Structure 1
């Protein structure tokens, strides 16, 4: 499936532009035929993400004049979500107050189930394979670090009849906040099961199993942002909205790591994807963003796994032992290069048959009973699981060195990754090693000289990562139309003056 993206400011020939417009219309017509896995457009309306060319509301007004409907604001990337008549897409793309239009495509989660029943009683070895136990011996358990799980929600994982949970004493006290930004499911509960499984790998403490199934950072604080429906479907815009919610609450929550075991289901250049733009905003604001590479094998990495300003994680199969010399990379673990020419994934981590927390009364528990372990756990595979392992590892690293920037964390993981006998091009920089990452003293940064998303930069003005002071930039309220880009002192710009208020996200909180 190909993505359809439009931009009135793309420097292309007229014939190429007309071809793009035709492609958009074709994709718009096909979207309602993609079945339950793809959120369908209503009638002849196509759901799109529209980036404004300025800070006025003229683009929204034009959408309404076309017979369309404005659904929600995405101020994180100066955009909004709308439904627009298919035949009006070209008019919208050419409007002077519109910078970019893209289809609001479906999301894909990257968890897999495994049919091999003989693994049912296996206790986890992935903690040993990545040497997390060596961090524990040093008193590092992720305490004081907050990780956001942006997924299908997270259940508190309490045992029936007992005041006990894998997410903290009592009823899951380490699961600090649960919120939903999903337009398909406004409650924060995980009725699908994917997010709860991911959270257990990051930070489950194994209380219910009496220590048999422990996550990488068992004392980390968790925040759950639900971005998908109860059946596992979702829109890219819901994911952007979830990231935006984290940005808007960054001061009160103190989230340092964002786990995205989910990607778009359609490909787009990282320069044109709203989702890629959103994760870059988070990265530039100090959030370490960890993304599953995907389970689609060779060649294609979908947003945001294709972005250079994230940590993309592939999977490795431990074959039931903590010794990595026999480990292999599954054929389904996605790999390739990003548009900056760098290898993806950045590294690999265990992602096959990891036993983790089970959301009760979820799709996972009811449709996959044969994979349930000890009533409260489930065997879980995929790059979703691998990303969770790395997110937990980053929490351990940040507990030791809280002043590391996202780029320094990424470089540290690159430099400390291990080679092993079965390593190949699918492994990126190598196999995650928590112990080696903790030992390194380097403060070098990844991504120097890499161009940031053109979605975030003014027309005809590419901006590169080195040489710019991004520390003072507040990306949440950028006045894109009024900036003199030629002489900007990025460190001193006050971007917070734009009032983007009035948006009702329908978010539900649970303490």
Structure 2
């Protein structure tokens, strides 16, 4: 059977994420059930309501009847719109008119009621370096951030930056809350006392060969390296002060930054990083006071080449279970991210880097475990003057420091790397959680991926769901909620193109009769969902068809809740979501699914 094709989103499956920078470096068959949006839930001011009356009612055509109806509800008619709806005066500006809205909702003559919101122009921030921040606003490959600011700016959310610590910068000073220094080796920490409550960046400069040799006997590093002030650059992208007539604009500029120092001379230890993850998310770390500013988002622009260790996975699992979204850079080796940790750990949001032209950045790791791409920049260095950046305008500009070893004067400079891409997503996650604090890490991840836009350029090897779109993602909150349920599996499973069926499992202890209205929440990222056949398989092997293939359904993704009559006797055991791609040409993965039996 033939079907119409369109350009596919670059990439396939997903799972976890990781790594540092390029310059400078840093180590370490039932009907679908969907909720409808509630347009009365807003956080912007309004002083009138727009009321649409059902066709055939007197109020739908008579201003006198509509005026009388408004008066009965204690309000007055303002005017009738071109669409036939009427505008009702509330008498004052408010952000809450619940009783009046409910009165209109309860009226059988009313088809709909919604606030007549007051909009504002999207003026550019007045930050002096904002024009350099193509990564926020350019149409080709920017992340479409400004349009999100009308509904959320990150207020009330703390983002933990697990990195080199923080060097004082006036564009960040008002954003920083108490963090911690988790570097337990005092010699590497350069502060002579190991772990302490001061997360100040002491500098990560090293001399050639000072960190040993690699597998081939080459010195590490291969040349002298100055301090990167890496954590401060990352922090600026997330939450630099905005509209303060200086510097850059942060993505979630009303969020707070919690600096956690784990990277120092020669990198950072897994044990220190894992403790920082635990502490940032509100867990207990022996010998460290409780965190008074628990982070709802963690950014880790760090990593190394390895499988995901039990230490990392346990710490990440704990953070996610406590409600903290974990964002990790994919790495800068132009290799498969499956070989880099903590990017290859389960549950995190793994971020690849894109260039200003909208291509996968030349250095960015790739693969089916990438969740999303974000701007990471792509600068070039001169051959005649080694070390000189010839295209600084194509990098990611953020807060930095001029000191070559110890701190000097504050400044702003461009970096490139997946380390720069990850904080774009951490900032977006903060915007989402600020808008809806009840969002779970799985829901944050799903929103970001489901609302990505098609990759603007080229990507070989897999760049996730596409390029993140902040405005579309923020606007999707409460509009297309991710599926929810009692039992859940959020481990990504790649779906081979026109291949064999794949399964994702959930273990249940429910015995006896399952509910006749068993709920299955499905979240599958796929660039042509008509390719897919989806079944729920019970522990006894009974298969319930959720979705057939359809050659004409060319839309992206399957985000749906299905009702299944699974009232036959079932035993405790393993339920499986079985998915098969039956046509060629498109790829995807199971992002998450859940099961409610009773």
Q: Compute the TM-score of the two structures, normalised by the length of structure 1.
A: 0.56
Q: Which residue of 2 aligns with 1:188?
A: 199
Q: Which residue of 2 aligns with 1:39?
A: none
Q: Which residue of 2 aligns with 1:334?
A: 365
Q: Identify the structure with the greater strand proportion.
A: 2
Q: Quote the offset at 1:217 in angstroms.
A: 1.0
**1:283–1:314 distance in 2 versus 1, CA, 3 Å:** same
SS at match of 2:467: coil
What is the distance in 1 between the residues matched to 2:472 and 2:19?
32
Q: Residues 337 and 369 of structure 2 are in contact (CA less than 8 Å); yes or no, is this contact kept in structure 1?
A: no
Q: Residues 329 and 426 of structure 1 are in contact (CA less than 8 Å); yes or no, is this contact kept in structure 2?
A: no
Question: Any residues of structure 2 matched to 1:259-338 within 5 Å, and which?
Answer: 259-263=299-303, 265-268=304-307, 270=308, 272-301=309-338, 302-318=340-356, 326-336=357-367
Q: Quote the offset at 1:232 in angstroms.
A: 5.0
SS at match of 1:176: coil
Match of 2:21 among 86, 103, 110: 110
**1:199–1:109 distance in 2 versus 1, CA, 3 Å:** same
Matched, 1:361 2:403: yes
Q: Residues 19 and 341 of structure 2 are in contact (CA less than 8 Å); yes or no, is this contact kept in structure 1?
A: no
Question: Any residues of structure 2 matched to 1:389-400 within 5 Å, and which?
Answer: 389-400=424-435
Q: Residues 400 and 413 of structure 2 are in contact (CA less than 8 Å); yes or no, is this contact kept in structure 1?
A: yes
Q: Residues 312 and 345 of structure 2 are in contact (CA less than 8 Å); yes or no, is this contact kept in structure 1?
A: no
What is the distance in 1 between the residues matched to 2:165 and 2:143?
26
What is the distance in 2 between the residues matched to 1:256 and 1:133?
22
**1:464–1:151 distance in 2 versus 1, CA, 3 Å:** farther
Rg (Cα) greater in structure:
2
SS at match of 1:378: strand
Match of 2:146 among 128, 133, 142: 133
Q: Residues 279 and 304 of structure 1 are in contact (CA less than 8 Å); yes or no, is this contact kept in structure 2?
A: no
Q: Residues 237 and 250 of structure 2 are in contact (CA less than 8 Å); yes or no, is this contact kept in structure 1?
A: yes
Question: Any residues of structure 2 matched to 1:206-221 within 5 Å, and which?
Answer: 210-221=245-256
Q: Quote the offset at 1:248 in angstroms.
A: 2.9
Q: Compute the TM-score of the two structures, normalised by the length of structure 2.
A: 0.48
Question: Any residues of structure 2 matched to 1:352-391 within 5 Å, and which?
Answer: 352=377, 353-359=395-401, 361=403, 363=405, 376-391=411-426
Q: Which residue of 2 aligns with 1:351?
A: 376
Matched, 1:148 2:160: yes
Gaps of 5+ in 1: 1-106, 115-119, 158-164, 319-325, 337-342, 367-373, 453-462, 470-486, 488-511
Match of 1:244 among 260, 263, 278: 278
Q: Quote the offset at 1:151 in angstroms.
A: 0.6
What is the distance in 2 between the residues matched to 1:113 and 1:266?
18
Q: Residues 178 and 258 of structure 2 are in contact (CA less than 8 Å); yes or no, is this contact kept in structure 1?
A: yes
Q: Quote the offset at 1:402 in angstroms.
A: 1.1
Q: Residues 291 and 311 of structure 1 are in contact (CA less than 8 Å); yes or no, is this contact kept in structure 2?
A: yes
What is the distance in 1 between the residues matched to 2:277 and 2:134?
32
**1:206–1:428 distance in 2 versus 1, CA, 3 Å:** same
Provide the aligned length of Structure 1 versus Structure 2: 314
Gaps of 5+ in 2: 1-17, 26-128, 205-228, 285-289, 378-394, 493-503, 511-571, 573-598
Matched, 1:175 2:176: yes
Q: Residues 111 and 194 of structure 1 are in contact (CA less than 8 Å); yes or no, is this contact kept in structure 2?
A: no
**1:240–1:468 distance in 2 versus 1, CA, 3 Å:** farther
Q: Which residue of 2 aligns with 1:124?
A: 133
Q: Residues 280 and 310 of structure 1 are in contact (CA less than 8 Å); yes or no, is this contact kept in structure 2?
A: no
Q: Quote the offset at 1:278 in angstroms.
A: 1.3
What is the distance in 2 between the residues matched to 1:362 and 1:213?
22
Question: Any residues of structure 2 matched to 1:63-82 within 5 Å, and which?
Answer: none
SS at match of 1:223: strand
Match of 2:234 among 186, 195, 198: 198
